[in-house]
Structure 1
């Protein structure tokens, strides 16, 4: 209780200091409310960090004032805003809170004569009170000055340069006030700039901004591969200050191209807040080298816009389309210039996939955010999908050749959920490439390139990447998925993600390396064999990064040769980023109010060709052979499965039941009890998922 009281007192003092700065600038403070207020319009709490009951459904402040003859300014602080919240003064709409979960100080213009002589009411209420949204709002002040005067009392020119070459770099600049909130700044008539409260992206490495006088922490970075620079600065009224920050590449990625396969703009998708011009700036500043334009149901070519903004040297645009159907969303590319968009009104998978692959140029079809619900449909939900065996319960064939395992705008409550779904698809015999992406519609809230896919191909000239070669690698699975970490997997010193490893002897050597910049930490690295956890190694935060710049952990394991072909996947995780310069977002459609923020890095799969037939033989293929050889005799099937792993047993359980048999029969249960533990576990995996399917269908 004493600590909570101290925190509140500290916040109050910081707010008072900010107001004192306003007084020093000659700005009369007409109203001030120093406290933060918890609001929720309806429903249970969204997150466990909030109280079960909100203080109120709206913020209401009644105050006395005189009529303002000139425009005044409303200043407030907001946190965790996910839905639309209206800001009203005497029933006049001043604007809306920024839809952004970050902690930020924002401003609204109060028009002349909007304040009444006498009693006035400020009200903040949710636009759609049926949607659950826990927010904090407060630290309100009404300032007797125009908005431009409040924000523009001093200026700061920031240059971001390469620490080694001193060349200016496209970059992201984050501005935090003394309380640690993102500070709204003003940028005017500057080419190559994209700005939101507390964030300024610059395509040139130069950003000129104005802000209230005060003490600030300024951060500069350039996405995942670069270091983060910071500096404190005290700005006085009418001061014109300059700041140069140096950053350097810390994460070694030679022969890897940074790709974001899911990129939107408000210009062409009609929602979000990033114009296509702003998107070009953010792509360059976040270090994305192969961006795919995936606006909804339109084919967009970003090359003219990149040329317009002067950033063509930093990335190679690819024409794509998010085919947004009622049966799932699918990113498809590359699309030939001038080709018509695929028909998005089709309603069954076979027709949808035929239409997609019939589009000129298309080689990649990605299932997007498969655990999220859109148009009442969740592709990988229990109603449609058996998660133990990667099987659609209606018999629909998932013919995508890639799937998102990490979408940084739509993360899952369990950050590895889609990664497990992908490995199960591999067990089912679907040769699908894992994808990391941003799904960014915004400049700064869910920013571009936070989730990304590294493709193994020539990166010598990122402004002229060989798109066909990159697509070859993407189809083959020669990729690494990154969300704050990069996890490299090598078998016997030569085979990498996407490869079929020729193996001999009693064991294989597995090398894993976890990479990240200094401002990200890894705490766990794991190896999965056919989707089952085989090895997990903790990485103490104190040791993270001790093996060289950009290297968080490096190690080698000896894996006893399996009895049959398997796929290997390495995954690293670590604590999420809370700081606003690269904050990891809360889940888009949470399954629980509890949430543990994490970063992750996932390798592509390496297949071990144990049987030597030169093929990536899946668990499903082995299971099918075992079921066929047993000729319907369960005792025979269980004997045959004894030489296989848990994944094969799960696939066999599905095939056996699909053939008209039941695992719930007394005789079947009796026989199963005498089967090896791995076989029992695999059958139980299938049955648990099957029961979930049955329950979901009956709801």
Structure 2
């Protein structure tokens, strides 16, 4: 075991006449005054495990635990340990002289934390601070800027007080929102208040359910931010706070993003109360939902049906949303969110042998409701739904023969990002091409008040409802099933085809296609690219600059004219932008990363719009075309290759999958002669599928 052991520090905790005079003076003035010892002014890089977790950490860590000796000549009075932490994913313990003070906050954000030191732990003379991980799980962290303060934690955090009122700039009404407090270095600053009937509080984060928050704060310089989810702007102020200050401020945020005809939903929301992990109680969760402007929250605790209505009413935030009972059906074969569920409906049985049995059990709970395949590329309980050894994403096929037991899937999960943000989109495209009717979903998977922001990724649903407290849930469920959605992770890509048809619609087409796209987002985020996909293949792209903004909340507005396709296709617009380092909207790193390299991005997409070139009033998938072409070829591979020439890469991938099932693909690819005269799209599709198939058979 390697460790960092600091040399004893020359500081002494000694009360001089000057200090005594200052303490007496501060008491007379009604202020507290805490003496400080700097235990370490540095930030230390610790690593448990052998591998570098992220590229922004050095390749070699200084150690896997930290020990710092320090000496005291006086231990009277209350004591508090202050420190700064960064990128903490697992449980690291903080001890003094072998006594446990507590853990680092399990949160990757940069933050200032305080721990009380019980009496009797510090000793005259030599003392020792120790920080080490107990989970024994690989983790890179930074810890440092450690101080010992001669005050209790409550006194440290109440040197001054700050009263904030948050208003909707348009209506002038108080508004539920989130307050973020950072120090001059951008670290989240712990404040002196706890969660209550109107507040949900974590270090540097204060959600207010009624637009009002009063909290203590140490003296110092701070930036204060107020915002409310992705549709609103941000107001901020900078303060220099002295001991004893009582400051009153008003902040105003404005609704910026034009989303008429859409309602915001997070379909994957947990509570600690009922899931048993994370930290958000039911009361705190209701406040955070209101504070992030989520109009249709789906409560999905693991294998439980939870109704939030009574809690929301008790916390006086029920007017801001319509909650829906859901369930994250948690099994050995993946996790699925199901909704909406009536009260007293039995929980689905999860002890099944395959997806067919699971589908039957979930349908008993939701009938014609929504079944979402969650985080399909993540491993839970040793099972990854779309593991590359069992699932070929480009073709949308499971080699075990299992059918997808869902009518929707998460393409963005802001609590469990993929290293490649497009990976789940590629999987979705493959399923659509295979013939599945699957709706794309954005969700947060939040179990916490602030570690993963509830609603950071969300789904916008077509709706005629205009009152958040009385949304037509039946209409919303139907529109999700029909694909009438947009996915939002900071941005939106609103698409209209031929001036009339949106996501979930079938476009009757006899000629050119006009595709209009609006890229939407708040002023505090940027968009840099918008792309158009047909059958999952990028066919158009535009670069977005600040000059393209055509109004508040509109980043880009444009139209592409497409020639008539050779066959039915689905169209999807995707907008992306840089993942800016914003203290009030921090992007979590990938949950199960593929690489130490990662570039944060924001994005948003439309749902799929199908174009009915065939004219039979129904969308025809790439797989259906491939099946017909193989039938027409009468078992002749060369004829199939010839027949594929008018068709795109997606149809070619499905044709390759059929030859794989027929036992003919390997011979074709090794011979390669029939492909020599194939179209470029056919060659690309066959080689892409074959490479994935070889990877599956590599073992």
TM-score (norm 1): 0.94
SS at match of 1:663: helix
SS at match of 2:547: coil
Any runs of at least 4 consecutive aligned residues in structure 1 with deviations exceeding 4 A, and if so which?
22-25, 665-668
Q: CA deviation at 1:665?
A: 4.4
Q: How has the CA–CA distance of structure 1 residues 537 and 46 changed in structure 2, closer, same or farther, with 3 Å as cutoff?
A: same
- Aligned partner of 1:101 in structure 2 is 108
Does residue 139 in structure 1 map to residue 145 in structure 2? Answer: yes
Q: CA deviation at 1:71?
A: 2.6
The CA distance in 2 between the partners of 1:562 and 1:30, in whole Å, is: 72
- Superposed counterparts of 1:335-346, under 5 Å: 335-346=341-352
The CA distance in 2 between the partners of 1:661 and 1:188, in whole Å, is: 66
The CA distance in 2 between the partners of 1:666 and 1:100, in whole Å, is: 49
Q: CA deviation at 1:653?
A: 0.8
The CA distance in 2 between the partners of 1:311 and 1:532, in whole Å, is: 44
- Superposed counterparts of 1:566-577, under 5 Å: 566-577=569-580
Q: Is the 8 A contact 1:31 1:63 kept in 2?
A: no
The CA distance in 2 between the partners of 1:425 and 1:450, in whole Å, is: 25
- Superposed counterparts of 1:21-170, under 5 Å: 26-66=33-73, 68-129=75-136, 131-170=137-176
SS at match of 1:543: helix
The CA distance in 2 between the partners of 1:60 and 1:314, in whole Å, is: 49
- Aligned partner of 1:662 in structure 2 is 665
Does residue 430 in structure 1 map to residue 450 in structure 2? Answer: no
- Superposed counterparts of 1:346-495, under 5 Å: 346-361=352-367, 363-495=369-501
- Superposed counterparts of 1:582-661, under 5 Å: 582-661=585-664
- Superposed counterparts of 1:310-329, under 5 Å: 310-329=316-335
SS at match of 2:377: coil
- Aligned partner of 1:217 in structure 2 is 223
Q: Is the 8 A contact 2:39 2:70 kept in 1?
A: no
Q: CA deviation at 1:362?
A: 5.5
Does residue 559 in structure 1 map to residue 562 in structure 2? Answer: yes
The CA distance in 2 between the partners of 1:32 and 1:294, in whole Å, is: 44
The CA distance in 2 between the partners of 1:161 and 1:361, in whole Å, is: 42
Q: Is the 8 A contact 1:66 1:115 kept in 2?
A: no
TM-score (norm 2): 0.94
The CA distance in 1 between the partners of 2:441 and 2:557, in whole Å, is: 23
The CA distance in 2 between the partners of 1:354 and 1:579, in whole Å, is: 44
- Superposed counterparts of 1:492-531, under 5 Å: 492-505=498-511, 507-531=512-536
Q: CA deviation at 1:416?
A: 1.3
Q: CA deviation at 1:30?
A: 3.1
Q: CA deviation at 1:632?
A: 1.1
The CA distance in 2 between the partners of 1:188 and 1:429, in whole Å, is: 51
- Aligned partner of 2:544 in structure 1 is 539
The CA distance in 1 between the partners of 2:668 and 2:685, in whole Å, is: 17
Q: CA deviation at 1:667?
A: 7.4
The CA distance in 1 between the partners of 2:193 and 2:580, in whole Å, is: 27
What does the per-residue CA deviation read over 1:43-75, in whole Å, with 9 as the maximum and x for residues that have no partner?
A: 211001111110111111101114634331000
Q: CA deviation at 1:673?
A: 1.6
The CA distance in 2 between the partners of 1:288 and 1:665, in whole Å, is: 52
Q: Is the 8 A contact 2:444 2:456 kept in 1?
A: yes
- Aligned partner of 2:7 in structure 1 is none
Q: Is the 8 A contact 1:662 1:668 kept in 2?
A: no
Q: How has the CA–CA distance of structure 1 residues 641 and 324 changed in structure 2, closer, same or farther, with 3 Å as cutoff?
A: same
Q: Is the 8 A contact 2:339 2:366 kept in 1?
A: no
Q: Is the 8 A contact 1:70 1:111 kept in 2?
A: no
Q: How has the CA–CA distance of structure 1 residues 680 and 208 changed in structure 2, closer, same or farther, with 3 Å as cutoff?
A: same
SS at match of 1:518: coil
The CA distance in 2 between the partners of 1:380 and 1:294, in whole Å, is: 22
From 267, 289, 294, give the equivalent of 2:295: 289
RMSD of Structure 2 on Structure 1 (CA): 1.4
Structure 1: 5+ residue runs without aligned partners? 1-21
The CA distance in 1 between the partners of 2:403 and 2:611, in whole Å, is: 26
- Aligned partner of 1:9 in structure 2 is none
Structure 2: 5+ residue runs without aligned partners? 1-21, 27-31
Q: Is the 8 A contact 1:227 1:247 kept in 2?
A: yes
The CA distance in 1 between the partners of 2:555 and 2:668, in whole Å, is: 51
